């Protein structure tokens, strides 16, 4: 198991999050005790990476209702829906966030039905609270298991990509951070590397610095170094030159949302990598859990793209780097068309084109988790400054007679 820092830790009263805005210079943990703190932790990138955001949001729902002391279950459900809707406004692109809050709604409904017959409404409420915490802990456990399986499936694929090209190490290029610090443990894009290291396989990683917030240099390089894996940081604009020099066996990235046709939303700059990889004949792999696959949208055109504050570009390196008053465009993500993706690596196995058919079959057969909930592009603002209410799954509803 990789000797990495714990991204998310539950201490019984609060959720401790490794503050990733402080890396690599400081290792600081933030205690989150309510949904407002969680909203800001997600929005301000204290916690980041689609799987980690999902788990954190689940805990945010629980933290928002755990101290509820109202007299009736339907009032508790109203409070839970209020918290879930609020958390869903924190960031628009990573579908894991919406998947997690809606999973919490479902858990509350099921627990409410199970509590039917309780002598007092307060007893029923406590049953639901207990079930919500159990669901959070289960999500965290599932994330670790899913990432480990992604690593196992991905390792086989990476081995095939590098076969016959050279002896060890296998040369991988990645973008942003899709390692253990973007999940509960292991990561997605870096999981095959960690699993491979456990088996004695050698890797060398080229890590794009990932402008404007430098997640590649600040976070990916940090965690790879901590785990004894050789890593070389490059500027984003250098990736094509490294590929042209024959220094890359495969490109592997994570995903914030995958559409039903296989289009992939990931950190801005991913599309450029995919185009370059296609030109140089290098496999371009996407690693993500099935909770990142949104089967309710047909293509990447429907994925809402978050715009971040302009200061991340104009003041992102500790000093002013653009003329005052400059017009700045700062999308956090881009969409890579499915035809540029060589394979999608999930905990259920490796999915290859045609993706619409393969993903449809995967979900028809059952993935072990509920379908993630889509948000229509028309309902999502490019900027999250306005807190548009998400079109989430059916909210928790209660009936006085049936408590749920």
pLDDT in tens, 44-96: 999 999 999 999 999 999 999 999 998 888 899 999 999 999 999 999 999 99
Q: What is the pLDDT of residue 2?
A: 54
Q: What is the pLDDT of residue 186?
A: 92
Q: What is the pLDDT of residue 119?
A: 67
Q: What is the pLDDT of residue 121?
A: 76
Q: What is the pLDDT of residue 245?
A: 97
Whole-prediction pTM value?
0.86
Q: Is the pLDDT of residue 302 over 90?
A: yes
- Cβ(104)–Cβ(59) under 8 Å? no
Mean pLDDT to the nearest integer, 302-317? 93
Q: Is the pLDDT of residue 1 over 60?
A: no
pLDDT band at 362 (very low <50, low <70, confident <90, very high): very high
Tokens of 389: 């209410």
Q: Is the pLDDT of residue 288 over 50?
A: yes
pLDDT 10s digits, 192-245? 999 999 999 999 999 999 999 999 999 999 999 999 999 999 999 999 999 999
Q: Is the pLDDT of residue 143 over 80?
A: yes
Catalytic one of 143, 236, 256, 294:
256
Q: What is the pLDDT of residue 380?
A: 37
Burial of 267 (0-12, 13-18, 19+ CB in 10 A): buried
pLDDT 10s digits, 325-358? 999 999 999 999 999 999 999 999 999 999 999 9
Burial of 378 (0-12, 13-18, 19+ CB in 10 A): exposed
Tokens of 397: 């509803």
Q: What is the pLDDT of residue 165?
A: 56
Lowest mean pLDDT among 19-28, 66-75, 177-186, 372-381: 372-381
Burial of 159 (0-12, 13-18, 19+ CB in 10 A): middle
Average model confidence (pLDDT) across the chain: 89
What whole-number distance in Å separates Cα of residue 220 and Cα of residue 193?
12
Mean pLDDT to the nearest integer, 314-320? 87
Sheet containing strand 29-32, strands side by side:
8-10, 15-18, 29-32
CA angle 91, 92, 93 (to 5 degrees): 110
> Is 256 assigned a catalytic role?
yes
What whole-number distance in Å separates Cα of residue 189 and Cα of residue 326?
35
Query: How many other CB atoms are found less than 10 A from the CB of residue 120?
Result: 9
- Who contacts 271 (Cβ-Cβ below 8 Å, separation ≥6)? 334, 335, 336, 340
């Amino acid at each position: 198991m990789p000797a990495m820092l714990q991204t998310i830790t539950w201490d019984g009263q609060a959720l401790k999050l490794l503050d990733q805005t402080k890396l690599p210079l400081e290792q600081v943990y933030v205690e989150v005790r309510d949904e407002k703190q969680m909203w800001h932790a997600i929005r301000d990138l204290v916690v980041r990476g689609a799987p980690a955001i999902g788990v954190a949001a689940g805990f945010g729902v629980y933290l928002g209702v755990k101290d509820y002391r109202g007299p009736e279950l339907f009032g508790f459900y109203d409070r839970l829906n209020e918290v879930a809707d609020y958390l869903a406004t924190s960031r628009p692109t990573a579908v894991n966030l919406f998947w997690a809050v809606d999973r919490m709604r479902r858990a509350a409904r099921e627990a409410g039905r199970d509590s039917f017959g309780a002598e007092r409404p307060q007893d029923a409420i406590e049953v639901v609270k207990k079930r919500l915490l159990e669901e959070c802990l289960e999500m965290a456990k599932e994330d670790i298991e899913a990432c480990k399986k992604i690593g196992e499936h991905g390792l086989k694929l990476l081995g095939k990509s590098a076969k016959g090209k050279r002896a060890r190490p296998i040369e991988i290029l990645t973008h942003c951070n899709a390692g253990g610090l973007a999940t509960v443990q292991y990561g997605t894009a870096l999981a095959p590397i960690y699993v491979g290291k456990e088996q004695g396989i050698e890797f060398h990683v080229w890590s794009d610095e990932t402008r404007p917030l430098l997640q590649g240099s600040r976070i990916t390089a940090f965690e790879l170094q901590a785990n004894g894996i050789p890593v070389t940081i490059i500027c984003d604009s250098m990736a094509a030159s490294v590929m042209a020099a024959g220094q890359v066996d495969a490109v592997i990235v994570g995903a914030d949302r995958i559409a039903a046709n296989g289009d992939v939303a990931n950190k801005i700059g991913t599309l450029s990598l995919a185009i370059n990889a296609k030109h140089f004949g290098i496999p371009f792999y996407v690693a993500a859990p099935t909770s990142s696959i949104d089967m309710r949208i047909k293509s990447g055109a429907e994925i809402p793209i978050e715009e971040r504050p302009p200061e991340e570009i104009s003041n992102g390196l500790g000093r002013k780097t653009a003329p005052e008053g400059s017009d700045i465009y700062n999308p956090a993500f881009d969409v890579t068309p499915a035809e540029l993706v060589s394979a999608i690596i999930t905990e259920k196995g490796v999915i290859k084109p045609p993706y619409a058919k393969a993903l449809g079959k995967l979900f028809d057969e059952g993935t072990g988790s509920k379908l993630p909930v889509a948000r229509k592009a028309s309902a999502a603002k490019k900027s999250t400054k306005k807190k548009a209410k998400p079109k989430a799954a059916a909210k928790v509803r209660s009936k006085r007679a049936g408590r749920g």
